[in-house]
Amino acid sequence: MAAQGGVLLKSTDAAEPTNAIGWLQRWQQQALMTKQPLPGYGLILAVVALLGMGSMAGVLNYTQSHPINIWFPLALFAVIPLLTTLFTLYFSVRPAALIKGHPVLNHLVQQFRLSAYLPYQALLMRWLYWQTQTLALTFIVAALVTFFALALFQDYQFGWSSTLIRDDATMLNLVSLITWPWHWWFEVPGTQMISQSRFSTSGFATSNEVDGWWQTLVLSILTYGLLPRLLLMWLLQWRYVRALKRSIMLSGDVEQFMVAQQHTESRNALIDNIGDFELAHVHLEQLGIPLIGWHVSTERFNLIKNLGVDPWHQDEQWLCSDAAQQLSRIALLVNGMTTPTAELADGLMLLNKQVTLVLWFDGVSEARQQTQCKSWQYFARQHQLDLRIGE
Amino acid sequence: MVKPVFAVVGHPNKGKSSIVSTLTRQDAVRISEISGTTTEAQQFNLTIDGVSHYSLVDTPGFQRPRQVLDWLRNHAPNASERRQIVQRFVREQQTEPSSRFHDETELLAPILDGAGIIYVVDGSLPYSAEFEAEMTILQWTGQPRMALINPIGNESHIEEWQSALSQYFSVVRVFDPMTADTRKQLTILTAFMELHEPWRQQIEQTIEALQSYSASLVEKGAMVVVEHLQEMFSHVSEVKVPAQFAQSALQDKLKYDYQQQLRIIESAMRRQLQALFAHTLMQTETQTLTVEAPDLFDHDHWYLYGLDRQKIVALAASVGAAAGAVIDVGVGGSSLMAGALAGGLFSGVASVAATWKPERLKIHGVPLAGKTLTAGPIKELTFAYVLLGRSIDFLVMIIQRTHADRRIAQIQSHNMNERLQSLNKVEQVKLTALLQKAHKGLSEKDQLAWRDWIVTLTKNEKANG
């Protein structure tokens, strides 16, 4: 995402990319220049992982005198994660609320320095939902890893106990329901195991028959804790990518980037700021010096020569002739609406005389005259000419 | 497919760079009132979605055309070798370190490399024979060529130019780069097609791409407006008032802060629109946004540690309930949790009473609570329409502006009532309802509807304009 209202830079690499990959690489170069969001997210993940490990270790080591009641780890690592996954699913598909009014999301935005992305809040919400799933996943995975790490070196006994479930048949029904997703592939607790693994504070019959509970626990965590969260994460990612694609199509961010990359400036352009100036006016009749023309209408003026209309060599011949060279001072009358050229400068060089340049405007607005005079002023300055406006 | 390249040539200061600027959508092509601003040939591309469609070569103007023509005539034995003679002239001048024909070499080189010719003349001035040397040199190159008459200021001499130019150029068109809208630019592209058959297919594709690009730019511009208006509408500024005497001064500060924030958002929106429409160097002159709507300001109370009254009461009730629960446990549960209930109720009521007049809460003279003055979000419709109108004014201006136009942009304010007439009654009501709820955040569907209404309003503006 381009920073809001920020200045997009043109890459220093002059060669323009010829394909989409090239443009994406250039985009990525610019994205790296901006601040990366989510500082400290790694630390939060580490804390969540420790929480997952601590919870599992706590559940497994809660009691030494009784077996571990299977309901605790099931509730903590399968049922509650499943419920939170469903909650997240519900809230993530609801129409987006304003982040500013949402205490948790607003906190996350401040915490992870995402304020610059607030204008894209529909996208930001989806992105936050997707990213924060990694927290839940980290918790479950850390708990699972801890389970295997501890179970490798210690013999944990699982059983079940309940105040409300009094008969084995009800427990069997419940366990069958829980284990239904994998009962075709893995062995599930049967009547005998349920009966033998029931315990109360008064006693418990240890038997090899009850060892199957740990598999049920692991499969429950995988099926109800991990798998739904992975599916939700995939769904959220899909929704985010879809929204991002739409946003790219709708917003002008990519276009702004492309425009900035294609911005081309003129090379070695002439930069000369002619400020405000006022030119002196002169009556052509009162000049008192010979008048030569440059691209002017000969009928209207008493010119000794009109330059610029014949082939160059004819002008050149006249300029080098005695007729021209004997003149001590001359006035060069030009149509002010023409533009000064190097050919005129060449003519002046050949003359090599003190020249008064007289601009003639015929029925031209004041504004246009002023504009035209700028070029002539620049020309006169370059060639050290006296510049006037003829009347 | 062959990418067309055109050299834009002509007499100095006739608007060559302006034409390059408009037809390639580049606002950094140097344009000045002083003749001879362009000193070397430079290629500018029209790029759409990262694909370069055609190139225009900005060139310096002819400086010594009669001298060049004299040279060519002296060296050309017959008409069949004219192109080779021009090539020889350019080659020889390129090897000379300080050639006096630098500008002619610069402008002829791209033509001899295969570029088509766009010859630019000033239609406000009468035709004169001085241009014939230039046109003859271009004719000698043998490249496909067209002429554009740039009516700088007025069109009084266009007809005589048309009749003169048609003797040298197969296509002659009138084109004002300062005012040409997309439709006129497409007309010129159509003329390019007629110049050279191998370029036809590419230019047809360019016309198609440019049409859809122009439409999508307006939509994207409208989306930028929607995004920023939403941000402005939902923006809230607040200031805490610890003592009554400071309220008036802080109220002014709040108003100033709020106004500044809205201006910042508005200016960010304008910068984005400028970036989107490739007018990054454009300067604007506009009426500054002022916030006068009284309904924007409100007040609430603040408490120590940033907790609001609701949270303080809830916390106090919880603490009371917890203390009561300890008593319940102490009596073995025989109290049926009455201790927790009573404790919660008592603490809750006590905290409600304590925070009834928050300004009085003090520890050793240090205030624990006070008023929070807030400005925004924007629920007031008149002000919402003012912001919408200002944004549309800017969008319309930037859509209509050509890239050759370097004047300071003046934003014309238009009556929103008149502008709204382009929407039907149902749409007007829907737009009003949308403005009222925009501060709460809008769904994507609402945003798209808003965008489409803005597009309609700008189209109407263009039609009126």
The candidate with the shortest Cα–Cα distance to A362, out of A308, A301, A274, is: A301
**Each residue of B334-359: pLDDT tens digit?**
666 677 788 888 888 887 777 666 66
* Mutation for testing the B interface, residue in A27, A121, A255, A370 having most B CBs under 10 Å: A255
- Cα distance between residue B333 and residue B337, in whole Å: 7
Q: Residues of B numbered 254-273 whose beta carbons fall under 8 angstroms of chain A's beta carbons: which are they?
A: 267-269, 271-272
Per-residue pLDDT for A143 more than 90?
yes
Q: Is A95 close to B70, i.e. CB distance below 8 A?
A: no
Q: How confident is the model at residue A6 (pLDDT cuts 50, 70, 90)?
A: very low
User: Residue A5: its pLDDT value, please?
Assistant: 43
The DSSP line for B3-29 is: PPEEEEEESTTSSHHHHHHHHHT-TTS
Per-residue pLDDT for A3 more than 50?
no
Query: Average pLDDT, whole number, for chain A?
Result: 80
Q: Is B221 close to A121, i.e. CB distance below 8 A?
A: no
Nearest residue on chain A to B45, alpha-carbon basis = A262
Of all residues in chain B, what percent are helix, strand and coil, respectively (each to 5)?
A: 55, 15, 30
Identity of the residue in B42, B128, B220 whose CB atom sits nearest the CB atom of A252: B220
Tell me which H or E stretch contains B429. Answer: helix B425-437
The mean pLDDT of B375-381, rounded to a whole number, is 83
Q: How far is B272 from chain A (nearest CA, A)?
A: 5
The mean pLDDT of B231-256, rounded to a whole number, is 80
Per-residue pLDDT for A230 more than 60?
yes
* Mutation for testing the B interface, residue in A1, A99, A253, A339 having most B CBs under 10 Å: A339
Q: How confident is the model at residue A36 (pLDDT cuts 50, 70, 90)?
A: low
B61 touches chain A (CB under 8 A): yes
User: Residue A4: its pLDDT value, please?
Assistant: 43
Per-residue pLDDT for B465 more than 50?
no
User: Which one-letter amino acid corresponds to residue A270?
Assistant: L
pTM: 0.76
Is there a contact between B124 and B157 (Cβ–Cβ < 8 Å)?
A: yes
Least confident of A79-83, A113-117, A312-316: A113-117
Least confident of A235-249, B200-214, B313-327: B313-327
Higher pLDDT, B124 or A78: A78
Q: How confident is the model at residue B365 (pLDDT cuts 50, 70, 90)?
A: low
User: Residue A78: its pLDDT value, please?
Assistant: 93
Identity of the residue in B29, B130, B227 whose CB atom sits nearest the CB atom of A295: B130
Q: How confident is the model at residue B415 (pLDDT cuts 50, 70, 90)?
A: confident
The mean pLDDT of B187-211, rounded to a whole number, is 89
Residue A24: HSE in the Cβ half-sphere, 13 Å Cα cutoff? 3
Least confident of A127-131, A367-371, B61-65, B353-357: B353-357
Is there a contact between A274 and A374 (Cβ–Cβ < 8 Å)?
A: yes
Nearest residue on chain A to B64, alpha-carbon basis = A343
Least confident of A184-188, B209-213, B277-281: A184-188
**Each residue of A235-266: pLDDT tens digit?**
999 999 998 888 888 888 888 888 888 888 88
Q: How confident is the model at residue B263 (pLDDT cuts 50, 70, 90)?
A: very high
Per-residue pLDDT for B329 more than 70?
no
User: Residue B155: its pLDDT value, please?
Assistant: 78
Nearest residue on chain A to B28, alpha-carbon basis = A265
CB atoms closer than 10 angstroms to residue B411: 16
B276 touches chain A (CB under 8 A): yes
B281 touches chain A (CB under 8 A): no
Distances (CA, A) of B442 to A92, A97, A371, B20, B88: 16, 8, 51, 42, 67
Identity of the residue in B35, B39, B276 whose CB atom sits nearest the CB atom of A256: B276
Per-residue pLDDT for B449 more than 90?
yes
Q: Is B33 close to A374, i.e. CB distance below 8 A?
A: yes
Identity of the residue in B26, B34, B228 whose CB atom sits nearest the CB atom of A264: B26
Q: How confident is the model at residue B169 (pLDDT cuts 50, 70, 90)?
A: very high
The mean pLDDT of A187-207, rounded to a whole number, is 72
Per-residue pLDDT for A275 more than 90?
no
Identity of the residue in A262, A271, A342 whose CB atom sits nearest the CB atom of B47: A262
Q: How confident is the model at residue B87 (pLDDT cuts 50, 70, 90)?
A: very high
Q: Is A264 close to B219, i.e. CB distance below 8 A?
A: no
Query: Average pLDDT, whole number, for chain B?
Result: 85
Task: Let me know if B213 is exposed, middle or buried by CB neighbors in 10 A (0-12, 13-18, 19+).
Answer: middle
SS3 per-residue string spanning A147-209: HHHHHHHCCCCEEECCCCCCCHHHHHHHHHHHHHHHCCCCCCCCHHHHHHHECECCECCCCHH
User: Residue A1: its pLDDT value, please?
Assistant: 42
Of all residues in chain A, what percent carry a pLDDT higher than 70?
A: 82
Q: How confident is the model at residue A118 (pLDDT cuts 50, 70, 90)?
A: low
**Each residue of A327-352: pLDDT tens digit?**
778 888 998 888 899 989 998 888 88
B228 touches chain A (CB under 8 A): yes
A16 contacts in chain B (CB < 8 Å)? 45, 47, 52
The candidate with the shortest Cα–Cα distance to B23, out of B103, B118, B125, is: B118
Where do the H-state alpha helices sit in B142-237? 158-165, 182-195, 200-234
The mean pLDDT of A89-103, rounded to a whole number, is 68
User: Residue B278: its pLDDT value, please?
Assistant: 92
Per-residue pLDDT for A98 more than 60?
no
- Cα distance between residue B269 and residue B393, in whole Å: 13
Q: Going by C-beta distance under 8 Å and a sequence separation of 6 or more, which residues neighbour residue A160?
A: A69, A70, A71, A171, A194, A197, A198, A199, A213
The candidate with the shortest Cα–Cα distance to B21, out of B170, B173, B224, B175, is: B175
Identity of the residue in B17, B34, B280 whose CB atom sits nearest the CB atom of A263: B280
User: Residue B21: its pLDDT value, please?
Assistant: 94
Higher pLDDT, B146 or A166: B146
User: Residue A31: its pLDDT value, please?
Assistant: 64
Per-residue pLDDT for A2 more than 50?
no
